[in-house]
Structure 1
């Protein structure tokens, strides 16, 4: 029995990244420059990867949103989630991760952070300052979005179905495994919230079983009066695809711009 347990734990340790980063399940990326209003762009990471992203310039005076997608997703899903925000005139940079969307490289915590830094650098080089940038992270994407907000001056941070940390998520899924000791990719969002100087909007479904609503409550408590928490009653982890999300973000951004 002990030997079987050791085998299971060892297998989870070795296979943790393929289990965490479901890059192979992401949808087929959109055809090059086929999306009206968007252009495909490429940004090079500090470790030499050229990653594809989709960019739509903002209407005059509007903010630019940098969207970090969830797991088993990609640029196609990012387009669907943000289409109502695009119609409002917001600029959009839809970030593609290493290993996803047929991008080179293999995903990891530090890798996704490097991808985020590269995307923000590309924006800055193309005339979009941090003061005009709002970061939006969905599920897995809440990790790189929070890291970027903690290390870059930005106008705001929006988390959709975000987590306190990846070990907290794993601990509820694998209560019999010492995941807090074993996990290499931690995405400690709650530990970084004290470093985020920008206002924060947290959107979370109360029926989320993948990342329970309690994560949102704890995140909001860690950030104090800089944060607004909006619960969505009865909605699960599919929240980002709900038609109620974009209006909630739009209302908050309108208040932010006053």
Structure 2
């Protein structure tokens, strides 16, 4: 074997090893949970209870819940892939300050759970949270779904399967496979990836007013991805570009205030 062929064989072997490692470890590259269990009170919240949930597959999760003021909708919130609800306590408190109800889902694998994380599992958790709200007297037209970053894929699939009053998406994507393919352009991501969250295939099934907010300078989920998802969605819909802002816009009170005003106007009794 010539030196060139040997080098080519070594390079091919190295490539296959890297591809195998990415395939095996992919969920560690996709989800970054805070696994510490924190209660709402420990996170500095008042008037919030931690409600146990059981998904259809038997996995136990939790919901941080605060009831709405009279005539106000309840926000069913799905977080992004990093951290946990403790890092979103200020968002929950903001919704409370607006009189909105808050139902913040703690996914499996987060906040003290040791169960494995998967796309199917997160959708099952979201469905359990929705069903809990419905069982406790909150009508579908008073459920306002919010998805943050990765959570937009959860929000889209839930709202495509269940009736809701309104949906707000913060920095959504067409699919996580599309985002991963931009990062790992040198790998066959769409063949390797298990949890692809194909929002582009579900968004048109949402039959509720839709608000999308997306920073035009977002380096995590490009603005163009949100634009493409918006183009596929059904009316009524609103795209609100956040000029010059990046992914940090998801954690700003102004973003949450825009949603609160949207929900209050859209879901007025």
Q: Which piece of structure 1 moves more, 148-157 or 123-132? A: 123-132
Structure 1 distance, partners of 2:105, 2:48, is: 13
RMSD (Å), alpha carbons: 1.5
The gaps in structure 1 that reach 5 residues or longer are none
Equivalent residue, structure 1, for 2:6: none
Aligned residues, how many?
256
Q: Does the 8 Å CA contact 2:49/2:65 hold for their aligned counterparts?
A: yes
Equivalent residue, structure 1, for 2:72: 62
* Secondary structure at 1:157 match in 2: strand
1:112 correspondence with 2:122: yes
- Residues 222, 32 of structure 1: alpha-carbon distance in 2 compared, 3 angstrom cutoff: closer
The Cα shift of 1:81 comes to 2.3
Equivalent residue, structure 1, for 2:83: 73
The Cα shift of 1:32 comes to 5.8
Runs of 4+ residues over 4 Å off in structure 1: none
The Cα shift of 1:179 comes to 0.4
Question: What do the CA deviations read for 1:61-110 (whole angstroms, capped 9, x no partner)?
Answer: 10000010111121112322232221010000010000011124111000
The Cα shift of 1:33 comes to 4.6
Q: Which piece of structure 1 moves more, 45-54 or 129-138? A: 45-54
- Pick aligned residue for 1:178 from 184, 188, 195: 188
- Pick aligned residue for 1:31 from 39, 44, 61: 39
- Pick aligned residue for 1:240 from 231, 246, 250: 250
What TM-score, normalized to structure 2?
0.91
Equivalent residue, structure 1, for 2:201: 191
The Cα shift of 1:135 comes to 0.7
The gaps in structure 2 that reach 5 residues or longer are 1-10
1:139 correspondence with 2:149: yes
Structure 1 distance, partners of 2:209, 2:252, is: 23
Equivalent residue, structure 2, for 1:205: 215
Q: Does the 8 Å CA contact 1:50/1:104 hold for their aligned counterparts?
A: no
